[in-house]
Chain A
Amino acid sequence: MTVVERVPTDKVVVEGMTGDAAIAHALKQCDIDVLAAYPITPQTIIVEDFQKFVANGEVKTRVIPVESEHSAMSACVGASAVGARVATATASAGLALMWEILYCAASMRMPIVLAVANRALSAPINIHNDWSDSYGARDSGFIQIYCQSCQEAYDTVIMAFKIAEDHDVLLPVMVCIDGFILSHNVERVEMLPTEAVQQFLGVRKPAIALDPDNPVTMGPLALTDYYFEFKEQQDRAMARVPEVFERVESEFEKMTGRRYGRFETYRVEDADIIIFTHSTPGGTAKAVVDALRERGEKVGVVRLRMFRPFPAEALREVLRNAKAVAVFEKCRSFGAPSNPLALEVRTALYDLDERPLVTDFVIGLGGRDVPPSTIVEGVEKTKEYLKAGRAPLYETLGVRK
């Protein structure tokens, strides 16, 4: 384990930067060997900024300007296979085009960091935020972490490499930010000195690498006889993520004083209704809770960060004493009884003898603004459903209907 020391305040650089720029700076400081990416709004600034660092000679990274996202992730897998530290970024249709190789990256145990600026999927064409893209990839085998702020995005990218490259894990990580709402939002970001980041991460030590002198075959055929055993390995690696995450965050906290957890709890201790969401609505929900508490309402927030692996057991302990959990999510899983986030919450709570009521509100599709009033509306509805003793499996909020 690396020895990590607290970074003195005078070594921290404070800058106003967008979520995309914060991620680009983090990638720069992580000293990645290869970045293979294809531009797509609202992720483009990440790759543009990074290309500037390369052009200015600030990093030695080899950038592979591929012709599609399918190739981007393929190139990342190849580079990661030889032992390189590798990153890419995408959104929406770009993530969809990576699909096949997302599974390869995870199954071949490549510790790639993929920044996603969450954006709606076509049609109609839409460049704005919702979570349909990365929710769709939730079963790909990637670790998924969703960030609320630019600072959190910066910090999470740095930690992501350390989690991914840990030999107990060796899985790729998706670091997700809300497209435009965060990707293009200038916030205050405290940047660490590059030496501190590099000492924290060290150089990647591959468990096994492609090497002409010691040839191996990666990604071969495994049929009915062995495929299942490799999936068992992969599943167990995912199960080890929480422990490694905890270890990495503790070290990061020693260095920065900041830690985020797999989820954040806010004023939940005595809460009757807990708002459950993530990314930027998680922030808005906290502002809503502050306002509602002023008029005496017992409400709180759980802001999820890690969607994969989903921290079901830890969440159950936090949510179990509430009367209701109001889920807000920017995705509709068409034809499903409810939606990705609420499905997980309901599964987590199912084994309790006495379960909180779960309401599920689909919000903000295609970048529809989610003002505090939308969250308040959901809370008000949840109160009504509590009185009635039952709630619909899901409903849409903030749409003209």
Chain B
Amino acid sequence: MTMALDFAKGITEFRWHGRGGQGVVTSNQMLGKAALAEGNYIQAFPEFGPERTGAPVRAFLRISKRPIQVYAQVYNPDIVVCIDPTLLEVLDPTEGLKEDGLLVLNTTMSPEEVRDKYDFRGGKVVTVDATTIALEILGRPFYNMPTMAAAVKHSGVVRLESAIQAVLERYPGKIGELNKAAMERAAEEARVG
């Protein structure tokens, strides 16, 4: 009876944080489609709540080599990605995160500062200044894809090229190319600690 029950065996589970309009649902789907293209089964779904611009939004992703049976929100993610730095003041991104989990934040903070802020000692922390990267390359604060690129690189759930390919398919042409550049730079600049 004391044995903990694992309902997500063989499944990698993501939780995303962002605000309505920042593209958190889209980047979640793009990562899902990249995983699909690499031969995985996926579930990519938003938290179906306040679909209003600016409101905090969560999205969830499951990736598995086998068909996924569980249909529920993700409560104990392997990976948490937060694309909006302002959310870090209003929520604790480590909530429910597995002890050996991966935390990926769009922030100017260093991984050490993040660890201290949330007293998160396990797993891995990745930080990336995706806002600056997005503003410099895309000219607008579209920081969902670069943040996703940092998560992809340091989680290894899919290859970065697969994620970029999914984005290019969704946004053919210039927007896609600029996102590709932003994603490559974010993967390069992301700090791990």
Interface residues of A (CB under 8 A from B): 14-16, 42, 127-128, 148-149, 178, 180-182, 184-188, 280-281, 283-284, 286-288, 290-292, 294-295, 367, 369-372, 376
Please, how many angstroms separate the alpha-carbon atoms of A284 and B118 in the complex?
Answer: 32
Q: What is the 8 Å Cβ interface bit string for chain B, positions 1-20, against chain A (1 contact, 0 not)?
A: 10101111100000000000
| Cβ B7 vs Cβ A186 within 8 A | no
Please, how many angstroms separate the alpha-carbon atoms of A42 and B45 in the complex?
Answer: 13
From A187, A287, A367, A376, B42 is in contact (CB under 8 Å) with: A187
Interface of B is mostly: loop
Q: What is the 8 Å Cβ interface bit string for chain B, positions 50-68, against chain A (1 contact, 0 not)?
A: 0000000000000000011
> Chain A residues with Cβ under 8 A from B44's Cβ?
16, 185-187
Please, how many angstroms separate the alpha-carbon atoms of A292 and B4 in the complex?
Answer: 10
| Cβ A178 vs Cβ B71 within 8 A | yes
Report the minimal beta-carbon distance from A334 to chain B, rounded to whole angstroms: 25
| Cβ B71 vs Cβ A281 within 8 A | yes
A-B CB contact pairs (8 Å), 17 listed: A16-B36, A16-B42, A180-B45, A180-B48, A184-B45, A184-B48, A185-B43, A186-B29, A186-B32, A186-B44, A283-B71, A284-B69, A287-B69, A288-B7, A290-B9, A367-B48, A376-B5
Interface of A is mostly: mixed
The interface size of chain B toward A, counting residues with CB under 8 Å, comes to 27
| Cβ A284 vs Cβ B48 within 8 A | no
A181-B42 in contact given A16-B29, A290-B9 (Cβ < 8 Å): no
| Cβ A188 vs Cβ B9 within 8 A | no
A291-B69 in contact given A16-B29, A128-B48 (Cβ < 8 Å): no
| Cβ A369 vs Cβ B9 within 8 A | no
| Cβ B7 vs Cβ A187 within 8 A | no
> Chain B residues with Cβ under 8 A from A180's Cβ?
45, 48
> Chain B residues with Cβ under 8 A from A286's Cβ?
69
| Cβ B72 vs Cβ A369 within 8 A | yes
Please, how many angstroms separate the alpha-carbon atoms of A186 and B29 in the complex?
Answer: 7
Please, how many angstroms separate the alpha-carbon atoms of A16 and B43 in the complex?
Answer: 9
Please, how many angstroms separate the alpha-carbon atoms of A10 and B69 in the complex?
Answer: 26
Other CB < 8 Å A-B pairs besides A180-B45, A294-B6, 14 of them?
Answer: A148-B71, A149-B67, A178-B71, A186-B29, A186-B42, A186-B43, A186-B45, A188-B36, A281-B71, A287-B7, A288-B7, A290-B69, A369-B73, A372-B70
Residue of A nearest to B5 (CB): A291
Quick check: is B46 within 8 A (CB to CB) of the other chain?
yes
| Cβ B45 vs Cβ A284 within 8 A | no
Quick check: is B120 within 8 A (CB to CB) of the other chain?
no
From A127, A148, A186, A294, B33 is in contact (CB under 8 Å) with: A186
| Cβ B45 vs Cβ A181 within 8 A | yes
| Cβ A280 vs Cβ B43 within 8 A | no
Quick check: is B171 within 8 A (CB to CB) of the other chain?
no
Q: From A149, A186, A283, name the one whose CB has the most chain B CB atoms within 10 angstroms.
A: A186
From A182, A188, A295, A372, B72 is in contact (CB under 8 Å) with: A372
| Cβ B71 vs Cβ A284 within 8 A | yes
> Chain B residues with Cβ under 8 A from A127's Cβ?
48
Residue of B nearest to A288 (CB): B7
Please, how many angstroms separate the alpha-carbon atoms of A186 and B44 in the complex?
Answer: 5
